Structure 1
């Protein structure tokens, strides 16, 4: 694309329609900053971005971009060959001279202006020549002599024109079909045909067939617009793979994946690809613990060490590191820790012991008094539960969560069956990390799952399955108010008021915030090459889940949340979710 030409065209068309940059941003969900950069010629915009702008301005795509150079994706000769060549099959199969190019055009028309233009011309010609053939047949039986010549000339004429245009399209990307009646001339007619064909051929609805997604504020967005927006974000933020699931009325109404599980080999990422869940593990673990509370195995407010016949630091470690509590021998605070404190991140433990200068575990603040994000706290609770029940974490999770919800490709440990289809994590420049497959099961962060499986889990949460209503209410009850400026890092030790408006707090393994649409509950996931987020609004029966295998993933969360469901409440600064285009 010629950046300067697009810049001038956008300025002209925007002013012609009387839109300010802010108004155009609101109509398209393209940020004001991006529009400003396009109009200055500072960026080469993605095709999906131009589509969003053209749609909002109610103009043709080629009013913004130059037809002779429409390549955001490479023009593939094979598609032009198929568009112009498949009508020949109509010599064997009746009407296939129309149907084959029609279906190709419907499939590819939005990918590139050239496909759309060529497709229309091919279909118009084939419909015209078919009508001409019917007229020639009438002439054959009604006009002696000339009717026969007319009849035998139609098919050779159509074949000659077709072959000429095959070679012309491949070599010059241009075509000319004489005697064509412009049946498909306007976008309105084109859209009518697409809808008609779609309604005839698509007999069973899929999860992405919902025409619109209802957002928190009552507005809506079409699934096509959301897909276009995600494609734009994936391209601009350089995200290798992403899966997005949206819930309306407690049902999955949008479920789609983009990009690659292995960017180097260009292997596609999909909803059934296994992906490292990172701290999504904690959300599942919170539900598991509440199930054990329901069964009377553990109480939320009983000091955990009191369940054991001896001190936790007296046990010989059975794992490489995570159940080694020898460093707590001289610690006087840890015996106060309860399950409630572990799940609400108020144990006083650091996030992980290796963040300490001597890599030794200790309690840093009085248990139960301050939010301090801690994977160690959940692991401590896990170890206690394993000793109480005589079962390991994986056995408990399979019994009470994964199997009841048919999460057949989810586990707290790597399974060999995952090797057939799994996602690599990628760094900020697209290089893949080595896959870690030797983690010992830990409730704080070793979950392996899929977008499909975890979507089922979140739907079960919205439907209040697995647990009783009383347990769900307890899990989502705010246990601790959060004042820290950041969730982790140096600023987590400093307090501020920026999240007072949403009454930020923590439940039992899940973050909690308040909105005009009821409370929201969320969880992040962050590891090398994997960045995830979900937020549910149970009273509004709405939610979204985002899973990525890229260190660039978090850079699109704020914009995607706002576009998809109008979530303007997620505390993205507290979570260090800074937009990819923020300078």
Structure 2
């Protein structure tokens, strides 16, 4: 086994793409490996034909199991006899989920010498005169090698075993997604300042299973990313929180209204510009002040775009360049982008659906927007949220300014710099949160500075209230209190 193959196996075990061409499910190789899997485990495992089993295992077999440890050929054979084949009336059996199978051929100088096979298998308890009882489900990666024309099992990885509790939870979540016409759900959970869980359920488009690294459009969850980019610029002395923006940018629609001279990064990050949310939503389809800046709160995407243009003119760098320099590269957010650039993997995009389960045509964007349209994964945004929870390498003064109650929205509701602030949680907790909403998009990110817990929720559909209620009421930190506040 070459180092290259072993490297690929390790990558596959972690669900990372390896540089191998996947075999088509109608190809001879895929069908051959499906048959090999079926016969090998039916005869060798389910029927305990140990002679056959021995003839189809490589002499240097390596078997990695996430619960029972490592086994070589001898120990694998002994354990099969002892734990699988010792009781003729009650024994475990294995069935493969054929829809989950993937096959990657292995070549040497153009000649096929083996294949990597990935999939999901289920285990049952079989007793005489009784129906099979499901016991667990796991993922597997097999390496099959050709030995004088015979396929032999050479490497086995069996991992991510789930019992009935975990699988029932998955089934329940996927059922509520189906009931509400929402194809996919992504959840990231942060505990004590660490991103500890990434879960993706459902499908990308009602057909293809949503992968761990599914790409979601997150709408206004773009704003916290932009806001932190701005704060990093301030912390580096490249911008001042209270400096006027008119020397760098004046929108042509308001050039004759001197109130533009009052606009600063702080006023914009706290949504006190006086702008409407979007000019296209107004009758005049022009930007204008609906009230004097810094006199009250009004949520405005236009404000964030105004600040983006001012910063880009001042520093001579685009938002993409600045966010990449200060956030995406340092945090390893390799799957996050502001628009559909050439590196966007459209095959992983969680397509958007309306409340009736009808697909919404995907609108692709080709320029950055500081307030909307960010494309990202649960893992990438989870890294960002973890970074924010741990104070984002900001000075203590600026971090405290970010989480301070800058504007009061309600009795226990405020706005800081880029984040809404909710108070009066149990244990003296308070939370900073942001949501995102577009057609076929519903997202939420929340974090609790005291406990350093937090989570994010990505959904690619419109009918989401029942899903949020289920998740917040039953699964997530102080979620029931958050649900009741909203």
The alignment's TM-score, normalised by the length of structure 2, stands at: 0.68
Name 1:473's counterpart in structure 2. Answer: 400
Q: 1:331 to 1:225 in 2, by over 3 A?
A: farther
The answer on 1:278 being equivalent to 2:268 is no
Deviation at 1:562, TM superposition (A): 2.1
Q: Which of 516, 529, 545 is the equivalent residue of 2:426?
A: 516
For the Cα contact (< 8 Å) 1:241–1:259, is it kept in 2? yes
The answer on 1:254 being equivalent to 2:190 is no
Matches within 5 A, 1:123-138: 124=127
Q: 1:120 to 1:83 in 2, by over 3 A?
A: farther
For the Cα contact (< 8 Å) 2:472–2:483, is it kept in 1? no
Q: 1:558 to 1:119 in 2, by over 3 A?
A: closer
Q: Structure 1, residues 3-29: CA drift from partner, whole Å, max 9, x if none? A: xxxxxxxxxxxxxxxxxxxxxxxxxxx
| SS of 2:455 mapped into structure 1 | strand
| Higher Cα radius of gyration | 1
The answer on 1:120 being equivalent to 2:63 is no
Which has the larger strand fraction? Answer: 2
RMSD: 3.6
Which has the larger helix fraction? Answer: 1
The answer on 1:102 being equivalent to 2:92 is yes
Structure 2: any 5+ residue segments left out of the alignment? 1-36, 54-76, 86-90, 99-120, 139-155
Matches within 5 A, 1:32-431: 87-88=46-47, 90-91=49-50, 92-93=52-53, 99=84, 102=92, 104=94, 119-121=124-126, 124=127, 227-263=170-206, 266-305=207-246, 307-308=247-248, 312-313=249-250, 325-418=251-344, 419-431=346-358
Q: 1:204 to 1:384 in 2, by over 3 A?
A: farther
Name 1:567's counterpart in structure 2. Answer: 479
Q: 1:399 to 1:520 in 2, by over 3 A?
A: same
For the Cα contact (< 8 Å) 1:90–1:96, is it kept in 2? no
| SS of 2:343 mapped into structure 1 | helix
Cα distance in 2, alignment partners of residues 284 and 293 from structure 1 = 14
For the Cα contact (< 8 Å) 2:245–2:263, is it kept in 1? yes
Q: 1:534 to 1:335 in 2, by over 3 A?
A: same
Deviation at 1:119, TM superposition (A): 3.6
The alignment's TM-score, normalised by the length of structure 1, stands at: 0.58
Q: 1:99 to 1:353 in 2, by over 3 A?
A: farther
For the Cα contact (< 8 Å) 1:413–1:446, is it kept in 2? yes
Q: Structure 1, residues 465-503: CA drift from partner, whole Å, max 9, x if none? A: 3423332221111110003xxxxxxxxxxxxxxxx2xx1
Deviation at 1:365, TM superposition (A): 1.5
Name 2:13's counterpart in structure 1. Answer: none
Name 1:537's counterpart in structure 2. Answer: 448
Cα distance in 1, alignment partners of residues 193 and 367 from structure 2 = 34
Cα distance in 1, alignment partners of residues 158 and 330 from structure 2 = 27
Q: Structure 1, residues 493-519: CA drift from partner, whole Å, max 9, x if none? A: xxxxxxx2xx11111111111123321
Q: Report how many aligned residue pairs link the two structures.
A: 374
Deviation at 1:359, TM superposition (A): 0.7
| SS of 1:304 mapped into structure 2 | coil
| SS of 1:412 mapped into structure 2 | coil
Structure 1: any 5+ residue segments left out of the alignment? 1-78, 109-114, 126-174, 178-183, 196-201, 212-221, 314-324, 484-499, 575-583
Cα distance in 2, alignment partners of residues 360 and 440 from structure 1 = 20
